Chains A and B, each alone.
Chain A
Amino acid sequence: QVQLLESGPGLLKPSETLSLTCAVSGYSISSTPYWGWLRQPPGKALEWIGTFHHSGMSFYTPSLKSRVTISVDTSKNQLSLRLKSVTAADMAMYYCARQSTLVATFDIWGQGTNVIISS
């Protein structure tokens, strides 16, 4: 059974760097080329942050592109997200998800990790 588990600091101060990891179990992260991060601010719609492809090319939403990096560590079977210079607008539930190669659907999601930004 494929499981994704996000982890990271639940509380950051403005201007700090957010670092999240997503541990994949029951499945080799190398078996699927596309892995993504999404988020959902309180009371707002889901937002796609970016998708990592095993070619090394990543795709990011334009509003975050200058601050975000997504990477995969196949030796640890995990996905990572780094978001620099966070502000209150980055406060959200963050999800990692596997993205289907053929149809681009996010077919398996992690449980999510809540991130609070406060001074």
Chain B
Amino acid sequence: EIVLTQSPLSLPVTPGEPASISCRSSQSLLNRNGYNYLDWYLQKPGQSPQPLIYLGSNRASGVPDRFSGFGSGTNFTLKISSVEAEDVGVYSCMQALQTPYTFGQGTKLEI
């Protein structure tokens, strides 16, 4: 199965500052159709996960444009241009290229 490794696992940030989370895959997530099957989810405290980014770089519906996804193949990054207090929670990457779908360990972002 595909293993996803996130870093850092804990990310203290200051409101207004940028933040970046890395997700590395044990094998390429680039499909023959040219898309990278890598998603990002945010789980806010006490809530269920919500999608942020799909296919590596596409923002899900309703996601603010301060969130951006980059990368291809085995290296991916989620960037927050200017962190807000409501962004606290656990960020997880997930590969949807092949079953079993797998997740990274999660990165806890805290103010």
Partner-B contacts on A (CB < 8 A): 45-48, 51, 59-62, 95, 100, 103-107, 109-112
A109 CB to nearest chain B CB (Å): 4
* Docked pose: A60 CA to B58 CA in angstroms: 27
Q: Is the CB of B101 within 8 A of A48?
A: yes
Q: Is B89 engaged at the interface, CB distance under 8 Å to the other chain?
A: no
Partner-A contacts on B (CB < 8 A): 1, 35, 37, 39, 41, 47-51, 54-55, 58, 60-61, 92, 94, 96, 99-106
| Residue from the list B37, B48, B54, B60 in contact with A112, Cβ < 8 A | B48
| Residue from the list A100, A103, A104, A109 in contact with B101, Cβ < 8 A | A104
Q: Is the CB of A105 within 8 A of B51?
A: yes
Q: Is the CB of B49 within 8 A of A48?
A: no
Q: Is the CB of A111 within 8 A of B48?
A: yes
* 8 interchain pairs, CB-CB under 8 A: A45-B105, A46-B49, A48-B103, A60-B100, A95-B48, A103-B55, A109-B49, A110-B48
* Docked pose: A59 CA to B60 CA in angstroms: 25
Q: Is the CB of B96 within 8 A of A105?
A: yes
* Docked pose: A109 CA to B60 CA in angstroms: 14
Given A100-B54, A106-B51, A46 and B103 touching (CB < 8 A)?
Answer: yes
> Residues of A contacting B50 with CB < 8 Å?
109
> Residues of B contacting A109 with CB < 8 Å?
48-50
